[in-house]
Amino acid sequence: MKTANQTRYSIGAMIFHWLIAILVIVNWRIAESAEHLSDAEKGAVFANHKALGMLILALTLGRIAWRLTHPLPSLPNNYAPWERMLARTTHVVFYVLLIGLPLGGWLATSMFDRPIDFFGMFTIPVLPVGENKDLGGTIFDVHKTAGTIMIYLIGLHILGALKHTFIDKDLGIFRMLPFGGKARQ
């Protein structure tokens, strides 16, 4: 759903965008910080990583529901065809990763027969897949690689927003901010 005269995303879309973005970066930093810890310390750190991943999954599903029920601004007219395709592709890959990373982590954790403690509030049970530590380890390896891809994609996304704002001067970053200049249509 798009509207011809809307230049910004809705406040709800902005809240989902920035909250998920912050949580993804925090979760990546949590995982990175555990690399050189002892096994006991790693377990505690990764418990938070897994819980945060499940929160990101829930918020992403909420964001998709929001996106399907609220109008989107059209891409600015000054975007070149390759920029339009790159913007759309990047967003699709973001959604695939925002859903796939938590589900993959949950699947791999389930293969080690470990439920996920959601910050001490409740337990998310294992998926009914049976124990398979070898496959679970492989899925964790893919999960880590996909997480790295997500971080590079975030960097590309930020560079695109900065390019549109400061080089093209179409104030593109303000499409996802509730304040500041009015983005060009």
SS (H, E, C) the chain: CEECCCCCCCHHHHHHHHHHHHHHHHHHHHHHHCCCCCHHHHHHHHHHHHHHHHHHHHHHHHHHHHHHHCCEECCCCCCCHHHHHHHHHHHHHHHHHHHHHHHHHHHHHHHCCCCEEECCCEEECCCCCCCCHHHHHHHHHHHHHHHHHHHHHHHHHHHHHHHHHHHCCCCHHHHHCCCCCCCCC
User: Is the whole-model pTM more than 0.85?
Assistant: yes
Q: Is 75 inside a domain boundary? A: yes
CB 28 within 8 A of CB 158: no
CATH code of residue 131: 1.20.950
CA quadruple 99, 90, 21, 179: dihedral, nearest 10: -140
pLDDT at 183: 57
For the chain, report the end-to-end CA distance as a whole number of angstroms. Answer: 16
Total tally of structural domains belonging to the chain:
1
> Would you say residue 175 has pLDDT above 80?
yes
The answer to the question of residue 182 being in a domain is no
Of the two residues 87 and 106, the one the predictor is more confident about is 106
Query: Do the domain assignments include residue 120?
Result: yes
Domain that holds residue 131: 2-176
Q: How far is CA 137 from CA 99, 132, 152, in A?
A: 19, 9, 23
Q: What is the pLDDT of residues 41-84, one digit of tens each?
A: 999 999 999 999 999 999 999 999 999 999 888 888 888 999 99
Q: What is the pLDDT of residue 102?
A: 98
Q: Is residue 99 part of a domain?
A: yes
- Give me the half-sphere count of Cα atoms (radius 13 Å) on the Cβ side of residue 67: 12
Does some domain include residue 82?
yes
Longest dimension (CA), the chain: 55
Residue 152 lies in a domain: yes
Q: Is the pLDDT of residue 1 over 80?
A: no
Examine residue 132 and state whether it is found in any structural domain, yes or no.
yes
Residue 183 lies in a domain: no
**Higher confidence at residue 182 or residue 90?**
90
Please report the pLDDT score of residue 72 as a whole number.
87
Q: Contact, 103 vs 38, CB < 8 A?
A: no
What's the whole-number mean pLDDT along residues 132-139? Answer: 98
Percent of the chain beyond pLDDT 70? 95
Residue with the two structure tokens 């996802």: 176
